[in-house]
Amino acid sequence: MITALSLNPSIDRTLTVPKFTYGGLNRVSSEKQDAGGKGINVSLVLRALNCDVCCAGFLHRETSPIFAKKLSAAGADYDFVFCPGATRTNLKILDAAAGIITEINQSGRPVSPEELAQMTEIVRKHAQESSMMVLSGSVPPGCPGDYYEQLIRLCREAGCRCILDADGEKLAHGLKAAPFLIKPNRYELEQLSGRSLKNRREILAAAREIISGGVSVVAVSLGAEGAMIVDKENALYAPPLPLQVNSTVGAGDSMVAGLAAAFDRGDSLEEAFRTGVAAASAACLTEGTQPFTPAQFEDCRRKVAMEYVR
């Protein structure tokens, strides 16, 4: 069983405009609204990869049926702390002409000390029942800056491996607890290393510095340049697949889910990377965060090319 945490879920509202004009009038050509958040996305992709998964986190009563329905339809279990009010809304504006998405995200309703304590106990329970825990995304106001670090330490005590996909203070604190895997992008890795990373060798060196601190695997998303994965012994680079991209929303979450699924079943670094890259690529073929099909995933998997980085 893999547990995916969704501490700050969102209603994702995507507006498509033919050509975005900053400071001017923009007319919407299409609109889509969906239950989202990184932990929710990871859970759905894990189900698309036929993994047993439970999504745990905070959920707000007014909008909870939207999330419960989506997870149930995918066959994912869930275990939430139910809070009063409605879930935050994240607005995404897609400039169709440029293919650029502008995101405007709300912070979310603060959680109380009582709700936070309930969440910690839920994580403790699932750490004892799960082989892998995925901690991804933002946390709501009321969570301490080192909350992911606290939860990773709790999971390690229970023998549950953790994947951390976060940024800023959450990532810096989380590293202190030595999660099994982290998935920064280039900018986040630069922030951690304190220097600009201009090429693959420099990225490799920065990743190895993190591994020397106790992390087992560092997967680095490089956007349009592809991705890298590094462990203590090997480093691999995968260029982007030639695809007709419909949306990059959720691609990073799909990579995390692919890596989690593969490492959980004991795959090698190479096979786990292939699965992660294929899942991220297949996610780009769908609209928004809609799940990819098995055929799309297998087609992408066959096309993944990799090379070792020295």
Which residue matches tokens 């390690």?
156
Strand 30-36 to 217-221 pairing:
unpaired
User: Closest Cα partner for 184 from 159, 215, 139?
Assistant: 215
Cα–Cα distance measured from residue 228 to residue 277, given in angstroms and rounded to the nearest whole number: 10
Q: Is 104 exposed, middle or buried (0-12, 13-18, 19+ CB in 10 A)?
A: exposed
Q: Is residue 253 annotated as part of the catalytic site, yes or no?
A: yes
Q: How many residues does the chain have?
A: 310
Q: Could you tell me if residue 109 is left (phi over 0), alpha (psi between -120 and 50 degrees) or otherwise beta? A: beta
DSSP symbols for 12-70: EEEEEESS--TTS----SEEEEEEE-HHHHHHHHHHHTT--EEEEEEEEGGGHHHHHHH
Coil/strand/helix, residue 215: coil
Residues with Cβ within 8 Å of 212's Cβ and at least 6 positions away in sequence, in order, are none
Quote the CA–CA distance of 226 and 205 in Å, as a whole number.
18
In angstroms, the CA 273 to CA 281 distance is 12
Residue 162, judged by CB atoms within 10 A of its CB (0-12, 13-18, 19+), counts as buried
72-87 in b/e form (b: 16+ CB < 10 A) is: eebebbbebbebeeeb
Catalytic residue from among 253, 264, 267, 299 = 253
Q: Which residues are catalytic?
A: 253
